[in-house]
């Protein structure tokens, strides 16, 4: 797609947004909710496995349209515009329909959508309190996992919030690197299956909590060891290509995710003051193809020879005034990198501190400092990275998820 066409499309969309700024709170096909998220930043260095580059750049700019199709269905379409190496990329992040009137607490979503894996993944990145997703997301989900498939949810009729769900996806974004070039790389009709449960509730009027557990099966997640080369394959992960394609850099057949969230707002009013603590733990098992297991076990004297990846993060965000909040996040990542015919253990420790000025629900300006320490990660050159970022919303602005 030529840039001139993109520019014309963006201008037309902005004109439409200006005409639709007073759209009804219950959008319909004749009056859909339209929004445009503007995202730009300056960064003085590079984070490991980052989609953000050094210097002035555009980030995750998205155009979204949504509406109730009729009394039975809701639909949403989200297109993302990004810049990489001076080139404009256009990707469809969401294009789905969802039922709105199924009985017994059931709902079905079909098309392309964000998986409900873990806590952050089903939320759009412009709602985050930090410049980028945690390192476990960048490593295991390609920053955020969006795919084409089908979801079935069941809201259990209990006083405590309890959701059960299962998703089936085409799975290409999570396919191991050596499977990406094969259209028929799996005989599985549903290469990725994700099952999850979320439970939560309130403690009085000021406190709320949620726990989640997910298990994702990835039929194409295992990788093969390569023949030995003196150059150690330069870097078997080819990280830059995966970043741009939003593909996972470290994969396996089984992924387990445990997440926890706690929120506080005095008397339930988040406008003036609130606090959020959240954390997630990821474990990715069975990373090597089965034919390598015997040879792999012969090298058990080397700590690198573990057939799994894992990582975690914890974050705390405190809004101390209506327009100001501060966030602190710490995470660790422990992965096995394929270098020719063997594995090397790599680790990353990352600390983020962010200061956010959000004069309204429609605007946010962020200053963030990232301190990172680790080994052998693609793009990690600087120990300290400073980012200045804005995210602005034009048009409709839906309520944020829990």
Largest pairwise CA distance in the chain: 67
Fold held by 94-395: Porin (2.40.160)
Q: pLDDT by residue (tens digit) across 79-137?
A: 999 877 778 889 999 999 999 999 999 999 999 999 999 999 999 999 999 999 999 99
Give the CA distances from residue 131 to residues 135, 169, 362, 387, 394, in Å, rounded to whole numbers and listed in that order. 12, 28, 17, 7, 20
Question: According to the model, what pLDDT value does residue 379 have?
Answer: 61
Please give the share of the chain, as a percent, with pLDDT higher than 90: 65
Instruction: Please give the average per-residue pLDDT across 198-224, as a whole number.
Output: 96
Q: What is the dihedral of CA 100, 101, 106, 110, to 10 degrees?
A: -40
Residue 231 pLDDT greater than 60, yes or no: no
Give CA–CA dist 91/93, Å, rounded.
6
- Return the domain boundaries, the chain: 94-395
Q: Which of 285, 297, 281, 223 is nearest to 253 (CA)?
A: 285
Please report which confidence band the pLDDT of residue 292 belongs to, taking 50, 70 and 90 as the band edges: low
Q: pLDDT by residue (tens digit) across 217-229?
A: 999 999 888 755 4
Provide the 10 A C-beta neighbour count for residue 190: 15
Mean pLDDT of the chain: 84
Are the CB atoms for 310 and 282 separated by under 8 Å? Answer: yes
Question: According to the model, what pLDDT value does residue 344 have?
Answer: 85
Pairing of strands 192-203, 254-264: unpaired
Are the CB atoms for 389 and 132 separated by under 8 Å? Answer: no
Q: pLDDT by residue (tens digit) across 15-36?
A: 433 334 334 456 776 678 999 9
């Amino acid at each position: 797609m030529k840039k001139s066409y993109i520019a014309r499309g963006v201008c037309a969309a902005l004109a439409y947004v200006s005409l639709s700024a007073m759209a009804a709170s219950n959008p319909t096909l004749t009056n859909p909710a339209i929004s445009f998220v503007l995202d730009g930043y300056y960064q003085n260095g590079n984070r490991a496995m980052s989609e953000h580059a050094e210097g002035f750049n555009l980030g995750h700019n998205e155009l979204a349209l949504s509406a109730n199709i009729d009394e039975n269905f809701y639909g949403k379409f989200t297109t993302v515009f990004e810049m990489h190496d001076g080139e404009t990329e256009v990707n469809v992040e969401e294009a789905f329909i969802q039922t709105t009137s199924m009985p017994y607490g059931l709902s079905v979503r079909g098309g392309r959508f964000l998986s409900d894996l873990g806590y952050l993944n089903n939320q759009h990145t412009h709602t985050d309190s930090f410049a980028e997703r945690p390192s476990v997301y960048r490593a295991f989900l390609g920053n955020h996992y969006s795919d084409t498939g089908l979801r079935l949810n069941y809201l259990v009729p209990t006083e405590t919030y309890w959701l059960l769900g299962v998703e089936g996806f085409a799975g290409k974004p999570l396919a191991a690197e050596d499977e990406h070039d094969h259209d028929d790389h799996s005989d599985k009709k549903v290469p990725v299956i994700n099952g999850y449960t979320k439970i939560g509730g309130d403690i009085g009027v000021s406190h709320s909590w949620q726990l989640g557990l997910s298990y994702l099966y990835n039929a194409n997640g295992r990788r093969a060891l390569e023949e030995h080369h003196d150059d150690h394959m330069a870097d078997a992960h080819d990280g830059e290509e995966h970043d741009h394609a939003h593909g996972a850099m470290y994969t396996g057949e089984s992924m387990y995710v445990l997440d926890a969230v706690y929120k506080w707002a005095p008397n339930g009013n988040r406008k003036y003051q609130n606090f959020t603590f959240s954390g997630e733990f990821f474990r990715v098992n069975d990373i090597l193809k089965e034919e390598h297991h015997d040879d792999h076990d012969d090298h058990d004297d080397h700590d690198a020879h573990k057939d799994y990846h894992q990582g975690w993060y914890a974050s705390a965000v405190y809004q101390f005034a209506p327009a100001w909040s501060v966030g602190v996040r710490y995470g660790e990542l422990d992965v096995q990198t394929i270098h020719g015919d063997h594995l090397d253990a790599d680790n990353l420790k990352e600390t983020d501190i962010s200061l956010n000025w959000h004069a309204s629900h429609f605007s946010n300006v962020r200053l963030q400092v990232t301190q990172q320490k680790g080994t052998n990660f693609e793009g990690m050159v600087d120990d300290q990275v400073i980012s200045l970022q804005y995210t602005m919303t034009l048009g409709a602005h839906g309520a944020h998820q829990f």
